[in-house]
Amino acid sequence: MENMELSAKVRQLEASPTLAISTEAKKLKDSGKEVISLGAGEPDFNTPQHINQAAIDAVNNGFTGYTETIGIKELREAVTKDLAKRGLEYDNNQVIVTTGAKYALFTALQSIIEAGDEVILPAPYWVSYPEQIKFAEGKVVAVETKEENRFKMTAEEFAAAITEDTKAVVINSPSNPTGAVYTKEELQEIAEVAVDNDILVISDEIYQKITYDTSAVSIAELGSEIKDRTIIIDGVSKAYAMTGWRIGYAVAPKDVITAMGCLQSHSTSNPNSIAQKASTAALTGSQEPTKKMVKAFQRRRDLLVDLINSIPGFETIKPSGAFYLFVNVKELIGSEINGTVIKDDQELADVLLHEAGVATIPGSFFGKDGYLRISYAIGEEDLKRAAEKIKDLVG
């Protein structure tokens, strides 16, 4: 059969646009063109050696079979101990280890969302949120955030978006794509609205260890009522340069974890056994490599903010976490660059890629037109070179 009929749930999904740009950038590189990618969503550091050694030891010790579906107890306890450092007390049976944090989010949404349930999503948002909500047959309710609020949803904006069909809200702090970090006070106000309206909170904290001028607070820290309705999504990929190891986890009330475990038992089964041992070492071992990485990101952030703000038509605020700038390019919409009239941020990104050899991600992919997401998860010399190439093109 050449044209097998696909399910409606799958047909409604759109492929990841960030991966599409990465693929196009690779094609240009393979053709011999110099391309500097500012689209990377992963640290450019090697996994720390003590983590690698734990994986080697796991192989040598024959730890290569199935594990518990929800992850080895050793790793789940490492997660609870890590959370306890922030004042969050959980039992290890409130933790599920998954094949990446993205799958933790997927199983969480599949476990709590019924057809027609509304999920409030502050925009800009990570590209997979709306697709996963749609796959769970939920309805995305996007809340437009303001740049003057550093792209953070206020409690008032949250409350205004609530209807009788609202089931959950997604909070991503630090944020991809903006690097915004919610303060304790901001989260407290959001928590009060969630509790008063009996709304679940999905707290995506995958970047929580990558902050600069402030620390990231989990909304679950703000009292038992909000903790009991919060699902924390996290993993080892960003903080420990372990993107390819594919280990994430969710922490939530026991009934949610049980449901997620049931779904996982019929889909992926247990996550990779060797990667689980490595992830245990990541959480329990030395945190110095992470601290050094964060310091390097902070230097790059400070450098790139100045470089980007020196380019005509580019303007950005300094993010407090993650490793992205969300750059306002609205001034360039409608202008002409190398004979091309820039009609939107996607066309600007295309021109930057093909004319300047610099890969960026359009803000419209994240639900916010007129912006570009730029990653500083590459070396300082490449950042300088990329800024220079953009400036030469548009300046």
134-185 pLDDT tens trace: 999 999 999 999 999 999 999 999 999 999 999 999 999 999 999 999 999 9
Give dist(CA 389, CA 395) in Å, integer.
10
Tens-digit pLDDT profile for residues 3-60: 788 999 999 988 888 778 888 888 888 898 899 999 988 999 999 999 999 999 999 9
Give the global pTM: 0.96
Report the DSSP pairing between strands 36-37 and 361-362.
unpaired
Q: Identify the CA nearest to 376 among candidates 25, 35, 19, 38.
A: 38
Q: Is residue 109 within 8 Å of 254, Cβ to Cβ?
A: no
Tens-digit pLDDT profile for residues 198-253: 999 999 999 999 999 899 999 999 999 999 999 999 999 999 999 999 999 999 99
> Does the structural domain 49-284 have CATH classification 3.40.640.10?
yes
Q: What does the buried/exposed string (b/e) look like for 81-110 if buried means 16 or more CB atoms within 10 Å of the residue's CB? A: ebbeeeebebebebbbbbbbbbbbbbbbbb
- The residues, ordered by sequence, that sit 6+ positions from 256 with a Cβ below 8 Å of its Cβ are 108, 111, 112, 231, 250
* All structural domains of the chain with their residue ranges: 8-46+289-394, 49-284
Looking at the structure, give the CATH architecture of the domain made up of residues 8-46+289-394: Alpha-Beta Complex (3.90)
